[in-house]
Structure 1
């Protein structure tokens, strides 16, 4: 079934925002790539800001769904395996997918006029992720796989570790990143596992 006009607009806008940034992705360019007139965009979105924020929300939802899927598919595995699978899914999502590039770009450098709106959505998204990850850490503590400490502390460290490697992925070649991913994972796990 062919994609709807709204879906095509969102797809092309996401690619342009991911590759050219907010300022470089004009409505004219988006319309041209979709094969419609610029004025036709206003039948679907109030303006560029509206389109951008719809994409931000869509990307958050997709990212959260993918992480939930990883966790649910690993529910019978060890805490180490579940966290590692989520770590790999996150880094692959950000490095190889246009959606991930868009996510990282706007999370780090949102348009000035939309900074607060993006921040509010991000905080809401993080609360959703807390609901995914906190039970993993709590289970790991209860099962004796990780140290008996505050699960939220482990989660905050996990987020910071993910943010750090995600940033580096845009600066180094794949071989370097793959080695660093293994190194940071090893150090992270060694730091939280039950001794």
Structure 2
């Protein structure tokens, strides 16, 4: 991938995360990159294609991070695994770009891309759910997890991390970390009883 394409994507990600899809123009992106707007079209057919390319990159990065995390956690006790998974998905340093884009999509969804984005998001959530299901099964086999409803545990996991995503923007880091620990303790107690 060329340096120009990387600059275009990075700049587009910045603008979309700040102003949303509709509030971002190719002209703004081109000016920031230091090229003329038509030059973007030599790399991307449209703003939609640029946006989808960014989403594809973010999904790939997310999958790589997920697999790396799973491999790192293979030998740990299951309660530590689930805690690490929860903390990974509530740590803005790990998936900040994906979370920012997701928040913008949810707040101001580009109507023409909504179906594609929903499908992409559902695929990614399904991959995470598969890992969670395996963790929960191991936890049950070890006697740590008492709750038998895997779908309920997964739904609660996603609801909690989505709620914490919003709180990252509301609180200073100390308050957020305190809230995140409280939420984890509640979730741990729920799944282990």
Same topology, TM > 0.5: yes
Q: Distance in 2 between matches of 1:96 and 1:67?
A: 10
Q: Sort the Cα spacing of 1:59 and 1:81 in 2 relative to 1 into closer, same or farther, 3 A.
A: same
Give the TM-score taking structure 1 as reference length. 0.88
Q: Distance in 2 between matches of 1:43 and 1:181?
A: 45
Query: What 5-or-longer segments of structure 2 have no aligned partner?
Result: none
Question: 1:153: Cα distance to partner?
Answer: 2.4
Question: 1:132: Cα distance to partner?
Answer: 2.2
Aligned to 1:153: 152
Contact (CA 8 Å) 1:22, 1:111: kept in 2 or not?
yes
Question: 1:160: Cα distance to partner?
Answer: 1.2
Question: 1:148: Cα distance to partner?
Answer: 4.9
Aligned to 1:102: 101
Q: Secondary structure at the match of 1:22?
A: coil
Q: Sort the Cα spacing of 1:135 and 1:107 in 2 relative to 1 into closer, same or farther, 3 A.
A: farther
Number of matched pairs: 193
Runs of 4+ in structure 1 over 3 Å off: 93-100
Q: Distance in 2 between matches of 1:114 and 1:143?
A: 44
RMSD of aligned Cα (Å): 2.1
Contact (CA 8 Å) 2:133, 2:150: kept in 1 or not?
yes
Q: Sort the Cα spacing of 1:95 and 1:126 in 2 relative to 1 into closer, same or farther, 3 A.
A: closer
Matches within 5 A, 1:63-82: 63-82=62-81
- 174-183 or 85-94, larger mean C-alpha shift: 85-94
Contact (CA 8 Å) 2:9, 2:50: kept in 1 or not?
yes
Q: Distance in 2 between matches of 1:42 and 1:158?
A: 41
Q: Secondary structure at the match of 2:170?
A: coil
Question: 1:113: Cα distance to partner?
Answer: 2.5
Q: Sort the Cα spacing of 1:148 and 1:168 in 2 relative to 1 into closer, same or farther, 3 A.
A: closer
Contact (CA 8 Å) 1:95, 1:170: kept in 2 or not?
no
Q: Are residues 1:165 and 2:153 paired?
A: no
Q: Deviations over 1:17-38 (max 9, x none)?
A: 1122112221011112222211
